[in-house]
Chains A and B, each alone.
Chain A
Amino acid sequence: MQTKLMKGNEAMAEAAIQAGCDAYFGYPITPQSEVLEYLAKEMPKHGRVVLQAESEVASINMIYGAAGAGFRTMTSSSSPGISLMQEGISYIAGAELPCLIANVNRAGPGLGTIQPGQGDYFQATKGGGHGDYRLIVLAPSSVQEMADFVFLGFDLADKYRNPVMILSDGAIGQMMEKVTFGKFKPLKIDKPWATVGKPASRERNYITSLHIKSEDMERHVEHIYRKYDEIKKNEVRFEEIMTEDAEYLIVAYGLSARISHKSVNILREKGIKAGLLRPITLYPFPEEKINQLAEKMKLVLTVEMNTGQMVEDVRLSVNGKVPVHFFGRFGGMIPDPEEIVNKFENLINKNHAL
């Protein structure tokens, strides 16, 4: 075990090396350039491949090639760059290639700002590119998780032959915290489907997302959706904080969850039985858990750094059992724990006199 003080982006990069990432292809963009910088320095020391591509469009297609050849590959970017990658991500999902993509989310739309945001929730969890597909989406809320989810992400990608996204944000990417390495042993999975050159002993391998006959394409999409059902069954992850006796629930992920944790503490000090449910996998979404928790809640509040995206999934999960409200700051603004407390108190006073 080895403990270091690191930036979130650097922790992610170091974890990639330790998780056996064979190749990293990326393009600079604030606030995630440290990943490429760190790996440009460190990967050659391990005899691994690191390449600064001419664009995000190129880097995601380099990932497609290298992942298709059976290697552990990773790219990272921030919101506008991730938008550029969407076509490639769709191809990767369609061709069922394992890889890791990190989005250090900044606030948009457009060029937006380099400050943190959570406005890419829809893009990350609902597909993002064209066609019917999903990514496994992991949402770290600490520098430690920036590292841990790299190991987890690579393993899940290999296990399900599906791209995995780490949906972080500019604050977690840039802040420094203690991070411990050496907890995980990377999964080793054979990839007999990889395009490495056809020996006489087997049929040719080919990587494609093309199924020109509609019957074949429907079968293919059914196949990948059966895989998503498996993922939903096995891989839902979340953290519960003070939910056992809670009457009021906050649902928040990533940086919003860290802030909401503080708000829950303040509410508890005020005698309000608040709890926090932090989805760790945004896809698969912890819908059952939220549905169960809603049974005993008087009210649910979703806190996000956007204008209300995950709240739609929370509402679907709660399924009308209790009112679901939303509080958000956006445009690069970070909510204050007191703001959330105020919002909560107003809601309680309005709807549910204590």
Chain B
Amino acid sequence: MRSEEHSLVEVEIITKKDEPADGKADAKNEPGSKTAEEHVFEEKPKCINEEYEVVYHKPDTLLDVSMHYCPGCAHSLLHKLIMEAVDELGIQEKTVGVAPVGCAVFAYDYMNIDMSEAAHGRACATATGIKRLLPDSYVFTYQGDGDLAAIGIAETIHAINRGENIAIFFMNNAVYGMTSGQMAPTSLLGMKTTTSPYGRDVHEYGEPIKVSELISHLPGSFYVTRQAVNSATAVRKAKKAIMNAFRYQKLNKGTCFVEVIGNCPSNWKMTPLEASKYIDDEMVKAFPLGDIKLPKGEDLKLLEEVK
């Protein structure tokens, strides 16, 4: 699984024309093959050259600017996946995003779509206002755990209970990232943060809140899934979930909710690789990955018809 990590790094992957695109990935599975970092380092200096063809590039919906995110942060990856979905579905002209206070508050600096910044916790209310007036558009929110699960839990639950036809992308990295690592409602038990310096104590703060499971019980939620982006396999699955969350909006059947277990290397005080491992070793114990609520077969049939 780890051997595929090289694809997490945002570089244009260039392969020789005479070499199959997946040739390297196969080679990497052999014992003694190079580590992910070595591969990336080797590929990077090779700029676009007649000898090579571009087999992968950033989507056009992602602006060509450097991001403010810390090295190894999952936000940049999630931005890219969402913008890839918008690009591939060809819905840029009909998409409006909402990013509230949190690390992703500058999302509009990176996403080449119409966007609204929102007050802390209020993204679902803001998105409701947009979607109710633009019912044919694709509206999504991009929220962190402090925003969605603490200050904005009321707006989140009520928007979903009303079955607002929006997609909610919920980046859960178990800390307040932007304000530099305070305890979040999703912080794991025992997790040390700047406001839980002795570790989160269940008697003081209860268990980490499982928002996906909670909202999956609301009839207004249509599709609920929990994904991660700490491996190539996970990224591919997350991308599929994001594509679904957009496509299902066409059905007007309710809210699509994609929780993404992210990392926060800076505030977890880990290297990106350690943070990725922490997700597999610890985060997924509290937040198991996978689909929590899936559309019914007849709804999916309807989607084919809508197409």
Q: Which of A20-74 contact B (CB under 8 A)?
A: 22-23, 25, 49, 51, 53-55, 57-59, 61-69, 71, 73
Cross-chain contact A66 with B130 (CB below 8 angstroms): yes
Least Cβ–Cβ distance between A198 and chain B, in angstroms? 5
User: Please, which residue of chain A has its CB at the minimum distance from the CB of B127?
Assistant: A65
Inter-chain CA distance A25–B133, complex, in Å, is: 12
Answer whether A73 and B129 are a contact pair too, CB < 8 Å, given A196-B134, A197-B114. Answer: yes
Partner of B129, one of A61, A91, A95: A61
Least Cβ–Cβ distance between A217 and chain B, in angstroms? 14
Cross-chain contact B155 with A61 (CB below 8 angstroms): yes
Residue among B108, B126, B129, B137 facing the most chain A CB atoms (10 A cut-off): B129
Inter-chain CA distance A63–B137, complex, in Å, is: 18
Q: Which of A283-303 contact B (CB under 8 A)?
A: none
Cross-chain contact B158 with A205 (CB below 8 angstroms): no
B117 in the interface (beta carbon within 8 A): yes
Inter-chain CA distance A156–B158, complex, in Å, is: 32
Find chain A residues with CB under 8 A from B106 CB: 210
Find chain B residues with CB under 8 A from A61 CB: 118-119, 122, 125-126, 129, 155
User: Please, which residue of chain B has its CB at the minimum distance from the CB of A97?
Assistant: B116
Find chain B residues with CB under 8 A from A88 CB: 119, 122
Residue among B108, B137, B154 facing the most chain A CB atoms (10 A cut-off): B108
Cross-chain contact B95 with A65 (CB below 8 angstroms): no
Cross-chain contact A58 with B125 (CB below 8 angstroms): yes
Find chain A residues with CB under 8 A from B108 CB: 204, 206, 208
Find chain A residues with CB under 8 A from B132 CB: 23, 49, 51, 62, 66
Find chain A residues with CB under 8 A from B127 CB: 65
Inter-chain CA distance A36–B268, complex, in Å, is: 47
| Interface bits A193-220 vs B (CB < 8 Å: 1, else 0) | 0011111100011111110000000000
Cross-chain contact A54 with B154 (CB below 8 angstroms): yes
Inter-chain CA distance A335–B116, complex, in Å, is: 46
User: Please, which residue of chain B has its CB at the minimum distance from the CB of A68?
Assistant: B116
Partner of A198, one of B105, B112, B116, B154: B112
Find chain B residues with CB under 8 A from A62 CB: 125-126, 128-129, 132
User: Please, which residue of chain A has its CB at the minimum distance from the CB of B134?
Assistant: A69
A87 in the interface (beta carbon within 8 A): yes
Query: Count of A residues near B, CB < 8 Å?
Result: 39
User: Please, which residue of chain A has its CB at the minimum distance from the CB of B136?
Assistant: A197
Find chain B residues with CB under 8 A from A196 CB: 96, 114, 134, 137
B93 in the interface (beta carbon within 8 A): yes
Find chain B residues with CB under 8 A from A204 CB: 108, 111-115
Find chain A residues with CB under 8 A from B210 CB: none
Cross-chain contact B125 with A206 (CB below 8 angstroms): no
Find chain B residues with CB under 8 A from A22 CB: 133
B258 in the interface (beta carbon within 8 A): no
B94 in the interface (beta carbon within 8 A): yes
Least Cβ–Cβ distance between B35 and chain A, in angstroms? 37
Inter-chain CA distance A257–B208, complex, in Å, is: 56
Find chain B residues with CB under 8 A from A207 CB: 115-117
Answer whether A87 and B119 are a contact pair too, CB < 8 Å, given A54-B154, A65-B130, A204-B108. Answer: yes
B149 in the interface (beta carbon within 8 A): no
Inter-chain CA distance A64–B117, complex, in Å, is: 10
User: Please, which residue of chain A has its CB at the minimum distance from the CB of B112?
Assistant: A204
Inter-chain CA distance A140–B127, complex, in Å, is: 33
Partner of B113, one of A54, A65, A73, A198: A198
Q: Which of B55-93 contact A (CB under 8 A)?
A: 92-93
Interface residues of A (CB under 8 A from B): 22-23, 25, 49, 51, 53-55, 57-59, 61-69, 71, 73, 87-88, 91, 95, 195-200, 204-210
In the complex, the 7 A-B pairs of residues with the closest C-beta atoms, listed nearest first: A65-B129, A62-B129, A61-B125, A66-B129, A65-B126, A61-B122, A208-B117
